[in-house]
Structure 1
């Protein structure tokens, strides 16, 4: 008798859990057709039913910034969205900018967090006798590139900036056509995530992501404005 070294799981409707049973035999008459190996749908559904969004953030993080990012990821996942980021969730055999483009083209929204990276003390400008800007924190270079690519794609954007980071490029409120919310790392996390301002902006962004997802996944052949 040939024994297949494979385990199968079964579902217990009383506690809603899957359990792994003993190995079964291909010629075991005691194994009924209903006891065939079952896919743990609950586990696969954890990611399959989440809309992918691009989470742009620096790779160099201190402890406070890491806690903030983890909390933000929890907020995104509770909204049934799947935060994707390079290279944490995926990586491709391409140069970084090509991988970013691939992520942008396969996501339905972008949320960017510009955090303090390097403190810059400016001493001179390119103009002799010019007044240098005041000292400030600089963010990561890709925090300029990735939101710009997302905007060019037309993705719904949500921009978060740590207090103290300079407002240059796409992080200048006079440049971008939407509001940039600021996070103060010296205050507790709940103070930020419980703010009405944050909850309103986040929920509006989630609604835009979902609306864009359903529009982009419509069939190419349309026979009316309200197709079923």
Structure 2
């Protein structure tokens, strides 16, 4: 391994204390592997529009992590209203729409993706089968999941993909 690897981290700008602790723990783990996380509005600031800035930063990266924290809680709502697939939602959690945009951009740039979602997050990039990658689901407010094999083995596979991508 030589040098530092830039990884795009898709996450909300505003986090709770517990979510901040989780992101800090992830940053520590990655720093030990010479990985620098890049996020618009957190590590990188620009005069460009968000979409252009994201693209420019991602083009400097060799991988992406999508962290699907709950950003919207719907206590009760209707999904697909007035269609044959209409359904009532109760206690439904939604991640930031930027997760969807940034994941799609990373996918189009063929960056190795590690997709991690909070319990109960669904939709788009967080639906199984949307990409060829497994969607990892944990209670993201707790940091214990970062030390279990169900996370570490896929993480190490993703990390290997990042190393291979950077050597091309």
| TM-score > 0.5 by shorter chain | yes
Tell whether the 8 Å contact from 1:109 to 1:157 is kept in structure 2 after alignment.
yes
Q: How does 1:7-156 map to 2 (within 5 A)?
A: 49-120=3-74, 121-123=76-78, 125-127=80-82, 131-135=86-90, 136-156=92-112
Q: What is the root-mean-square deviation of aligned Cα atoms in Å?
A: 1.8
Report the CA distance between 1:122 and its aligned residue.
1.1
Tell whether the 8 Å contact from 2:13 to 2:41 is kept in structure 1 after alignment.
no
| C-alpha separation in 2, matches of 1:113 and 1:77 | 17
Ranges of 4+ aligned residues in structure 1 off by more than 6 Å: none
Q: Which runs of 5+ in 1 are unaligned?
A: 1-47, 216-228
Structure having the larger proportion of residues in strand: 2
Higher relative contact order (CA 8 A, sep 6+): 2
Tell whether the 8 Å contact from 1:137 to 1:164 is kept in structure 2 after alignment.
yes
Tell whether the 8 Å contact from 2:5 to 2:35 is kept in structure 1 after alignment.
yes
Identify the residue that residue 184 of structure 1 maps to in structure 2: 139
Cα offsets for 1:87-116 (capped at 9, x unmatched): 221122111111011111111100110001
Per the alignment, do residues 185 and 81 of structure 1 end up closer, same or farther by CA in structure 2, a change over 3 Å counting? Answer: closer
**Equivalent position to 1:195, from 143, 148, 160:** 148
Report the CA distance between 1:61 and its aligned residue.
1.1
Which of these two proteins has the greater Rg computed from alpha carbons? 1
Q: 131-140 or 118-127, which moves further after superposition? A: 118-127
Tell whether the 8 Å contact from 1:53 to 1:83 is kept in structure 2 after alignment.
yes
TM-score, with structure 2 as normaliser: 0.90
TM-score, with structure 1 as normaliser: 0.68
Report the CA distance between 1:126 and its aligned residue.
3.3
Q: Which runs of 5+ in 2 are unaligned?
A: none
Q: 145-154 or 167-176, which moves further after superposition? A: 167-176
